[in-house]
A and B are shown apart, each in its own frame.
Chain A
Amino acid sequence: AQSVSQHNHHVILSEAASLELGCNYSYGGTVNLFWYVQYPGQHLQLLLKYFSGDPLVKGIKGFEAEFIKSKFSFNLRKPSVQWSDTAEYFCAVNAGDDKIIFGKGTRLHILP
C-alpha cells in the first residue's frame, strides 16, 4: 500500500532562513506527487505538483520541490521564508488510482 512519511512534525525558523521539508513515499511504480498547504483558518490548497518531466517543480509563493526517484523523495524547499509562510504543509502521493494519500503534515512556524 502507498504511504507517505514527513520527517519533521514541527519546524520553527526565523524569517529569511532557508527551508527544506522532507517527504518520502513508498510505492514502486509511477507516482504523482503533491505538496499542499493549509494556512491558519483556511482551506487546504495546492502548492505544487509533479507528474512527469523536469523533476524540479516550481510552485506558488517561491516554493519548489525536487523529485528524486532513486530516493523515493519529494522534498519541499524555499530559499528564504517569510512570516506569512507559517502554515501546515502536507506531502501527498497518487499512485495512478483514484486516491491521494497524505503524509502527517509539518507544522511550520516562522518567527518574525
Chain B
Amino acid sequence: SAVISQKPSRDICQRGTSLTIQCQVDSQVTMMFWYRQQPGQSLTLIATANQGSEATYESGFVIDKFPISRPNLTFSTLTVSNMSPEDSSIYLCSAYGAGPNEQFFGPGTRLTVL
C-alpha cells in the first residue's frame, strides 16, 4: 500500500491569489491524479500527472488555471491560480500502486477562497 500526504491540510486565501498544494507518496508510483471535491459534489478528476511528461487535463480544466508539476515518482504539486470563491473545494491527490485496482488517496486540502 501507499501512504499519501498533502500540504497544506487547509488554507483560506484571498481572491486573485494562487496556492500550491503538495502531494508526497511514500513509495514510487507511476500515475498520480488530482481531484476536486466541491461541497455536496462527487470527486471530479482534474488531471493525470505522469513523471517526465506534461499533465493530461480533463474537460473543463486547463493548465493555466491548474498548473501541475511531477518532478519525480513520489511527488507532485497542483497550483490553483488566480483563485475565486468558486475554487473553494477539497483538492485530493491520488496515486496508483500496481494499477487502477490499487488506488490510494491523500487526506485532501480544504481550500476556502474569500
Contacts and interface: CB of A to CB of B under 8 A. Distances in A.
B48 A101 contact: no
A94 B100 CA distance: 7
A51 B98 CA distance: 14
Given A90-B42, A104-B41, A44 B105 contact: yes
A102 B107 contact: no
B45 interface: yes
B92 interface: yes
A98 B42 contact: no
A98 B55 CA distance: 13
B98 to A, nearest CB: 12
Contacts of B80: none
Secondary structure class of chain A's binding surface, majority of residues: strand
Contacts of B106: 43
Given A90-B42, A105-B42, A43 B100 contact: no
Interface string A31-45: 010100000001111
A99 B107 contact: no
B101 A102 contact: no
A42 B89 CA distance: 16
Nearest to A51: B101
Given A43-B106, A44-B92, A44-B105, A98 B100 contact: yes
Interface of B: 4, 31, 33, 35, 41-45, 48, 92, 96, 100-101, 103, 105-108
5 contacts: A32-B101, A44-B43, A49-B101, A90-B43, A98-B100
